[in-house]
Structure 1
Amino acid sequence: MKLKIRLSSLAERVSLRYFTFIALYFAEGLPMGILFIGIPAWMAMNNKSVTEIGAFDVACAMPWTFKFFIAPMMDRYTFLPMGRKRPWVIICQTGLFLSLLIMASIKDPLNHLSLLVAGGFLVSIFGAAQDAATDGLAVDNIPAEEQARANAFMGGARMIGSSFALALSTWLLERYNFFISTATIGLAVGLITLVPILIREHQEERLFPWSDGQANKSNEQIQISSWMEMYRSLYAAFSLRNAFLLALLLFLSQGSYNYFEKLLPIFAVKVTGWTHVYYSNAFAVADLTGGVAGILLGGWLIERFGIKRMIYLYFFFICAQTLLLGFLDQYWKDTGFLYSYIVVYRWVNAFAKIGVFAIAMQCCSKRVSASQFTFYMTIGAVGSMVGAALISPVKNSFNWEISFMFFAVMMVLCAVILWVLNIKKLEQQIEGLEKHHQ
């Protein structure tokens, strides 16, 4: 029995931590692949308007802005004998599984867009909640020296999950129907729910509510016991100048990415003449290879050359690549050109996200881990929603070249914010706040 407990503890084993978070972030990527890429491309292929596609995108992005209301509940209330965040991960993962099955049951979704939008909204609610719980679990259990590499694993796993779901769901959609396509992804999410069910945070905790075990002492010491205490901790953390700059970086970078990545399928289908299946497969290949590259190289590059230096390089490359796309309009109908562009972009984009998310994780306090990290991610989600909402007015007002230029300018602004941000000072200030409350 002791051996079983030891093998099921995140606190004791590095390999188990990596496995757990790779699995959970892979599960998080599964609905993202169909909600944010596959279904919009499918809608474009079936002659739905930019406004209709944009409405679905906004509905899927909006729940991610609510995470900041969910995360404080996770920090304030939990069942400590089963861990600080593990009970929430199990609940949210189960909800994600069930919501995908509910969405799959929509009949003729292309002719019932309001139901499709509602289904995407429901799945995103549980997807956002699962993300908040998993992020809090990661901040609580991953030591500082492992965070860059862990973020590479997690970001890569999310991309692989997204690409896997995109390729599989698109193939099933073409060969069978919407129900089989979406339900299959839901079942995959349900299978991964076994991971948090069977793995403890600490060896002395309970596996199930009715099992033997007790709360971890360190968790009891940092657990916040009142809402006032939580608000004071959050206010102290977010009143810092560099915390504001970090939030601004996440808002602008995630907003610009989502703007561009919602523009690409419309461009590929309407200008290059791709089908939604071909675009989905191209994006899946890009995400799959980018995710693997992120796992193998993302963390190592940051550890070897420094986090700021590498993110600068990624921002510069994305900006240059986007300008090149705008100028080389004579190659827009060349399938090989656009395919290569998407693959390279997603590689660099994966590395850039890994770097920015690693900064956010290392600058969080364990006392309010879910709330603080979720605030950063929520700001990014708000940016994503704004980015999706910008597609219609920008594209309706400007040509493709100007629309691409808009993205390049946002990348330059991201680099400027990163230059002003003082990461070391923010880390020191967060550490000081933690010591003050001990």
Structure 2
Amino acid sequence: MKSKKLPALSESTNLRYANFIALYFAEGLHMGMLFVGIPAWLAMQGKTPTEIGGFAVACSLPWTFKFIAAPLMDRYTYLPMGRKRPWVIFGQIGLTLSFVAMGFVPDPLHNLDLLMGAAFVVSCFGALQDAATDGMAVDVLADHQQARANGFMGGARMIGSSLALAVGSWLLSLYDFTVAILVISAMIGLMTLVPVCLREQPGEKILPWGDGKVSVQNQTLQVTSWSTILKSLCSLFRLKDSLLVAALMFVSMGSYNYFETLLPIFAVKITGWTNTLYSQAFATADLIGGIAGLLIGGYLIERFGKKRMIGTYFFLIMLITSTLILSTSYWENSTFLYGFIIIYRWLNAFAKIGVYAIAMQCCSKKVSASQFTFYMTLGSLGSMVGATLIGPIKENFSWDITFFLFVIMLALAWLIMYFLNIPRLSDHITKSEHTQADHHVLVNI
């Protein structure tokens, strides 16, 4: 009897969601350790804000190079296995192996340059996997599914981050750096089985040596000319609203990374926490935020609108941060800081879901990886700038002024979003795609 094949992603909404949950869970595993767990550990070991900021820059820098990889994904692929799926699998395998290699950095506390180099390579594969996954999401998700999918994806990433923090920090304290990293690597590797087993379109190959063929859908979408990619991107980024989406990504992601890299330093040096306690608090916060994002994050955005909900979240984040700034007498109170971190991460999760949904909606399927990655690259560039600001700002100003800069940056992101007209940009993208499709038909006739 012939075994029944799993439906392709294009045929099953539930499998689409499951695929992106698994891939973003894997992304959260490595990001939780790189961007929170290891910086908290470095702070506990007495490293300076400048050294920790340097590590954060090494982790953030590869994400700014995604604009180079993304056009290659749009232009080149192995179509019998799908448009983006071969790239996703390659990114996942590279992420797993590079994370394993980072685990064998000798005496990482006294070899920070080597540790930063290893983290840089891990982030290169993480950025590649992320660009391919996002391009796949734009390709296979309908517009009305994008907000909910981003809720699932953002929630899965936060749950992965919380699990990596909880497990990784526990293993760091009980065993050593190598054991902690290898265990997280195994979990990342396990997630690779999901894209390996799920086709994008029916009839495609599972593996290069298997049976299958190129789907008509992907062959129609595939761009085979660099000039077409460049013309499409240039026409899209000449629009004011596209530039506003890019600016929103840059400022919001920069403000988040600035603040979240500062928090472990603040917790260790002011509140007297250990890196394990901070990681546990952050893991708990991410678990709560991740589950909430999975369950209701996307629904709220679908129900009440992206701009309205993001504006609400921005306002609440600014409000609780201002409360933190004005509550200096409570800074050494662990319960107060614990509560702040949980509320902040919950609001942060919901705000990111909305911002990513805006960026995804404002992409053309023809150049899905390139356009979405351009948005995300600017977000990563903003993250790098935010991390770079930490050393000079904290070394010259007090904690309250340092935190107040975060409030100012987030207020700027809110102002940018206010002027953004999403329906107008979406209409332009739809008309552009129809024009290109008609031109393609005429050329083939």
TM-score class, shorter-chain normalisation, is over 0.9
| Amino acid of the structure 2 residue aligned with 1:150 | A
Residue 233 of structure 1: aligned partner: 232
Q: Is it true that 1:245 corresponds to 2:244 in the alignment? A: yes
| 1:177 Cα deviation after fit | 0.7
TM-score, normalisation: structure 2 = 0.97
Q: In 2, distance between residues paired with 1:414 and 1:233?
A: 26
User: What's the secondary structure of 1:203's corresponding residue?
Assistant: coil
Q: How do residues 1-40 of structure 1 correspond to structure 2 at under 5 angstroms?
A: 4-5=4-5, 7-40=6-39
User: What's the secondary structure of 1:274's corresponding residue?
Assistant: coil
| 1:2 Cα deviation after fit | 7.5
Residue 358 of structure 1: aligned partner: 357
**Alpha-carbon deviations, 1:396-415, whole Å to 9, x = none?**
11101111111111111111
- CA shift in 2, pair 1:323/1:115, >3 Å: same
The share of aligned pairs that are identical, in percent, is 58
Q: How do residues 135-174 of structure 1 correspond to structure 2 at under 5 angstroms?
A: 135-174=134-173
Q: In 1, distance between residues paired with 2:142 and 2:3?
A: 23
User: What's the secondary structure of 2:9's corresponding residue?
Assistant: coil
- CA shift in 2, pair 1:145/1:3, >3 Å: farther
Q: In 2, distance between residues paired with 1:2 and 1:412?
A: 59
Residue 291 of structure 2: aligned partner: 292
Residue 423 of structure 1: aligned partner: 422
| 1:4 Cα deviation after fit | 3.1
**Alpha-carbon deviations, 1:212-252, whole Å to 9, x = none?**
11111021112111111111111111111100000000000
The 8 Å contact of residues 31 and 165 in structure 1, kept in 2 or not, is answered as: yes
| Unmatched 5+ stretches in structure 2 | 438-445
Residue 220 of structure 1: aligned partner: 219
User: What's the secondary structure of 2:206's corresponding residue?
Assistant: coil
User: What's the secondary structure of 1:11's corresponding residue?
Assistant: helix
Q: In 1, distance between residues paired with 2:394 and 2:421?
A: 36
Aligned length: 437
Q: How do residues 344-383 of structure 1 correspond to structure 2 at under 5 angstroms?
A: 344-383=343-382
Tell me the C-alpha RMSD between the 2 structures: 0.9
| 1:347 Cα deviation after fit | 0.1
The 8 Å contact of residues 326 and 404 in structure 1, kept in 2 or not, is answered as: yes
Residue 255 of structure 2: aligned partner: 256
Residue 408 of structure 2: aligned partner: 409
Q: In 2, distance between residues paired with 1:363 and 1:97?
A: 31
The 8 Å contact of residues 80 and 215 in structure 1, kept in 2 or not, is answered as: yes
| Amino acid of the structure 2 residue aligned with 1:4 | K
User: What's the secondary structure of 2:4's corresponding residue?
Assistant: helix
Q: In 1, distance between residues paired with 2:225 and 2:302?
A: 38
Q: In 2, distance between residues paired with 1:307 and 1:198?
A: 33
User: What's the secondary structure of 2:40's corresponding residue?
Assistant: helix
The 8 Å contact of residues 8 and 198 in structure 1, kept in 2 or not, is answered as: no
User: What's the secondary structure of 1:31's corresponding residue?
Assistant: helix
The 8 Å contact of residues 41 and 265 in structure 1, kept in 2 or not, is answered as: yes
Residue 179 of structure 1: aligned partner: 178
Q: In 2, distance between residues paired with 1:299 and 1:226?
A: 36
| Amino acid of the structure 1 residue aligned with 2:91 | C
Q: In 2, distance between residues paired with 1:226 and 1:345?
A: 45
**Alpha-carbon deviations, 1:128-179, whole Å to 9, x = none?**
0000010011111111111110000000001110111111111111111111
TM-score, normalisation: structure 1 = 0.99
Q: In 2, distance between residues paired with 1:229 and 1:417?
A: 30
Q: In 1, distance between residues paired with 2:331 and 2:383?
A: 26
| Unmatched 5+ stretches in structure 1 | none
| Amino acid of the structure 1 residue aligned with 2:159 | I
| Amino acid of the structure 1 residue aligned with 2:435 | H
Residue 441 of structure 2: aligned partner: none
| Amino acid of the structure 2 residue aligned with 1:295 | L
User: What's the secondary structure of 1:84's corresponding residue?
Assistant: coil
